[in-house]
Amino acid sequence: MDLTILPGIHTPADLKALDLEQLPILAAEMRQEICSQVQQTGGHLAPNLGVIELFIALHWVFDFGHDRLLFDVGHQCYPHKLLTGRYPLLSKLRQRNGMGGFPDPSECDQDLFMVGHAGTAISTATGLAHGDRIRGEGWSPENQDGRRTVAFVGDASIVNGLSMEGLNHAGTINRQFLVVLNDNGMSIAKPQGAIASYFDRLRVSDTYRSMKRAAKGMVKGLPGGETLRDWGHRLGEVAKDIVTEDPWFEKFGLLHVGPVDGHDILGLIETLAVVKDVDRPLVLHAHTIKGKGFDYTESDATAFHSPKPHSVNGCRVEVATGGRSFTAAFGDALCELMARDGTVTACTAAMPDGTGITKALEQFSDRTWDTGICESHATDMMAGMAKTGLRPFFAVYSTFLQRAFDQCFQEISLQGLPLRLCLDRAGLVGGDGAVHHGFCDVSILRTLPGAVLLAAIDEASLRASLEFMRMHDDGLTAVRYPRDDVDDRLAETDCPPFEIGRARCLLPNPKADVVVIAYGVPAMTALDAASKLDSHIQVEVWDGRFAKPVDGDLIERTLRRGIPILTIEEHGLIGGFGAAVIEEATDRGLDTSRIVRAGLPDSWIHQGSRGEQLAEAGLDLEGIMDAIHRAAALATKQDTVPIVETVPPATTY
Give the pLDDT confidence of 586-617 residue by residue, as tens digits.
999 999 999 999 999 999 999 999 999 999 99
Which has the higher per-residue pLDDT, 582 or 116? 582
DSSP 73-97: S-TT-HHHHHHTT-GGGGGGTTSTT
**Residues 90, 43 share a domain:** yes
The single-letter DSSP state of residue 586 is: H
Catalytic residue among 375, 540, 569, 570: 375
**Residues 529, 596 share a domain:** yes
H helices within 256-340, ranges in order? Answer: 265-275, 295-299, 326-340
Q: Which CATH number is 383's domain given?
A: 3.40.50.970
**Residues 451, 510 share a domain:** no
**Mean pLDDT on 305-317:** 78
**Mean pLDDT on 80-94:** 95
- Consecutive H or E run containing 414: none
Model confidence at 295, in pLDDT bands (50, 70, 90)?
confident
Active site residue 250: no
Q: Which residues lie across from 565 on neighbouring strands?
A: 515, 595
**Residues 516, 474 share a domain:** no
Do the strands 316-319 and 310-313 form a parallel or antiparallel pair, or are they unpaired?
antiparallel
Q: Is residue 214 part of a domain?
A: no
Nearest to 259 by CA among 155, 373, 119, 372: 155
Q: Is residue 13 part of a domain?
A: yes
- The answer to which of 3-17, 236-250, 342-356, 537-551 has the lowest mean pLDDT is 236-250
**Mean pLDDT on 448-471:** 98
- The answer to which of 212-216, 425-429, 641-645 has the lowest mean pLDDT is 212-216
**Residues 422, 273 share a domain:** no
564-588 per-residue burial string, b: 16 or more CB within 10 A, e: under 16:
bbbbbbbbbbebbbbbbbbebbeee
- Alpha-carbon distance of 485 to 610, in angstroms, equals 12
Catalytic residue among 94, 133, 290, 463: 290
Q: Is residue 609 part of a domain?
A: yes
- Alpha-carbon distance of 505 to 508, in angstroms, equals 6
**Residues 517, 371 share a domain:** no
Q: Are 610 and 483 in contact (CB under 8 A)?
A: yes
Nearest to 357 by CA among 422, 437, 307, 405: 422
pLDDT at 646: 38
**Residues 476, 514 share a domain:** no
The chain-wide mean pLDDT, for the chain, equals 88
User: Which residues fall within 8 angstroms of residue 277, CB to CB, at 6 or more apart?
Assistant: 141, 176
Dihedral in degrees, nearest 10, Cα atoms 216, 220, 223, 229: 30
Torsions phi, psi for 610 (to 5 deg): -60, -40
**Residues 84, 20 share a domain:** yes
Among 287, 318, 350, give the residue marking a domain's end. Answer: 287
User: Which residues fall within 8 angstroms of residue 127, CB to CB, at 6 or more apart?
Assistant: none
pLDDT tens by residue, 221-238: 333 334 433 444 444 444
Model confidence at 245, in pLDDT bands (50, 70, 90)?
very low
Model confidence at 301, in pLDDT bands (50, 70, 90)?
confident
Q: Is residue 418 part of a domain?
A: yes
Model confidence at 388, in pLDDT bands (50, 70, 90)?
very high
242, pLDDT greater than 60: no
Q: Is residue 78 part of a domain?
A: yes
pLDDT at 600: 97
DSSP 210-227: TTTS-HHHHTTTSSSHHH
Q: Are 251 and 224 in contact (CB under 8 A)?
A: no
pLDDT at 157: 84
Model confidence at 250, in pLDDT bands (50, 70, 90)?
confident
**Residues 572, 509 share a domain:** yes
Q: How many CB atoms lie within 10 A of CB 636?
A: 9
287, pLDDT greater than 70: yes
**Residues 15, 132 share a domain:** yes
Among 232, 259, 287, give the residue marking a domain's end. Answer: 287
37-48 per-residue burial string, b: 16 or more CB within 10 A, e: under 16:
bbbebbbbbbbb
511, pLDDT greater than 80: yes
**Residues 123, 55 share a domain:** yes
pLDDT tens by residue, 166-225: 998 998 998 999 999 999 875 444 555 555 554 554 544 443 333 223 233 333 333 333
Q: How many CB atoms lie within 10 A of CB 231?
A: 22
Q: Which amino acid is at 404?
A: A
pLDDT at 190: 56
pLDDT at 258: 86
Q: Is residue 299 part of a domain?
A: no
Model confidence at 311, in pLDDT bands (50, 70, 90)?
confident
Catalytic residue among 81, 94, 133, 403: 403
Q: Is residue 316 part of a domain?
A: no
Active site residue 637: no
pLDDT at 297: 86
Q: Are 267 and 294 in contact (CB under 8 A)?
A: no
476, pLDDT greater than 70: yes
Q: Which amino acid is at 634?
A: L
Q: Is residue 653 part of a domain?
A: no
640, pLDDT greater than 50: no
Nearest to 83 by CA among 45, 3, 27, 24: 27
**Residues 249, 118 share a domain:** yes
391, pLDDT greater than 90: yes
Domain that includes residue 95, residue range: 6-206+244-287
Q: Are 326 and 337 in contact (CB under 8 A)?
A: no
Nearest to 34 by CA among 1, 63, 73: 1
The single-letter DSSP state of residue 429 is: -
Return the percentage of the chain with pLDDT > 70, whole number. Answer: 87
pLDDT at 536: 86
Q: Are 559 and 417 in contact (CB under 8 A)?
A: no
- Alpha-carbon distance of 60 to 13, in angstroms, equals 8
Number of domains present in the structure of the chain:
3
pLDDT at 159: 83
641, pLDDT greater than 70: no
Active site residue 135: no
